[in-house]
Amino acid sequence: MSILVDQTTTFIVQGITGREAVNLTRECLDYGRGAKIVGGVTPGRLGREVHGVPVFDTVAQAVAHHGGPIDGSVVTVPPAFTRDAVFEAIENGIKLIVIVTERIPRRDVAEMVELAQLRGARIIGPNCLGVIVPDIVKMGGIGGPARNAAQAYTPGPIGVISRSGGMTTEMSSTLSAAGLGQSTAVSIGGDAIIGSSYAELMPLFQADEQTRGIVIYSEPGGRMEADLARWVTEHDASVADGERRSLPIVAFMAGRFMDEMPGMSFGHAGTIVEGKEDTTAEKIERLEAAGITVAERIEDIPQMIRQKIGAQEGAYA
């Protein structure tokens, strides 16, 4: 199995006629068993087609054309129009929204997330590459063209969650080369506020039978790593007999040099050291205190996660 998406997931691409969106549509149609892209939306472009996908003026038209609820949307519209596009998707019953757009002000993101919470929808991103279930489906630019994505991602037991889109592929490729495939890899986005953090995705992976271990990519800035550490600690403290303890987690922490450079932002919008809690040193300490192993080199991750999975599953056997 997988989390968030599978081969039955239907989705639309909002902003489908943009250059990057046209490529992304091609990539998703070509990858794995082929994404079910049931429409695209660009206001004023009703009646066009992008790689055979019909284009509509509104999400409502796309839903009407499909003849039933649509599961997801990939949003690739410019930052000034993203909030409106996401509101439109949510109010038309879409439950999974991948926001690719970068440089969206935090307030807009918070509004989208709050509306999603009210309507029972989930947002991945912004500033992310989306979700991939190896050999099955990808939703977003993750992994790039189908051929490139197939080279890096293979099916298997590891859930990957990453604040960097590119590093999602780098780490998955390293895992694949070591014979460890991925159940689902999620690029969650590099902004200060995002729709789904590590801790918010953990219950999904936890409930997924295929997933036996988690690998995450982390950076300075924000409380997301502290939230994950707290999730693990609280989950394990409250776990009932027969229920699964927290999956083993290995984290890679980039941007260690930034600890010495407070107030400077590198890499992603959310990556800045403003207070002690933003530093990699503090994050590593919190992660390790929760039993999460922090790797110094990406090439060490496969061995580490394999060992942790073995130890946990051995304890059950």
Q: Assess 107 for contact with other proteins (CB under 8 A).
A: yes
Q: Which of residues 31-70 bind other proteins (CB under 8 A)?
A: none
The piece of 61-69, 113-121, 285-293, 309-317 that touches other proteins (CB under 8 A) is 113-121
Instruction: Tell me: does residue 263 bind other proteins (CB under 8 A).
Output: yes
Q: Scanning residues 73 to 102, which ones bind other proteins (CB under 8 A)?
A: 79-80
Judge residue 255's burial from the number of C-beta atoms within 10 Å of its C-beta, 0-12 exposed, 13-18 middle, 19 or more buried: buried
CB nearer other proteins, residue 134 or residue 222: 222
Which candidate, 196, 188, 16, 208, places its Cα nearest to that of 116? 196
| 205 sits near other proteins (criterion: CB under 8 A) | no
Residue 109 in contact with other proteins, rule: CB under 8 A: yes
Tell the smallest beta-carbon distance from residue 98 to other proteins (Å): 16
Query: Using CB under 8 A, which of the segments 37-45, 63-71, 187-195, 204-212 binds other proteins?
Result: 187-195
In the set 6, 30, 57, 170, which binds other proteins (CB under 8 A)? 170
Gap between the Cα atoms of 274 and 286, Å rounded: 17
Size of the site for other proteins (CB under 8 A): 65
Residue 298 touching other proteins (CB under 8 A): yes
189 is an interface residue for other proteins by CB under 8 A: no
299 binds other proteins (CB under 8 A): yes
Active site (annotated) includes residue 268: yes
Among 254, 284, 292, 304, binds other proteins (CB under 8 A): 254
Asked if 313 touches other proteins (CB under 8 A), the answer is no
- Please provide the distance, in angstroms rounded to a whole number, between the alpha carbons at the two ends of the chain: 23
Q: Residue 152, interface with other proteins (CB under 8 A)?
A: yes
Residues that bind other proteins (CB under 8 A): 20, 23, 79-80, 103-107, 109-111, 113-115, 118, 141-145, 148-149, 152, 162-167, 169-170, 173-174, 177, 190, 192-193, 197, 217, 219, 222-224, 227, 252, 254-258, 261-269, 271, 296-299
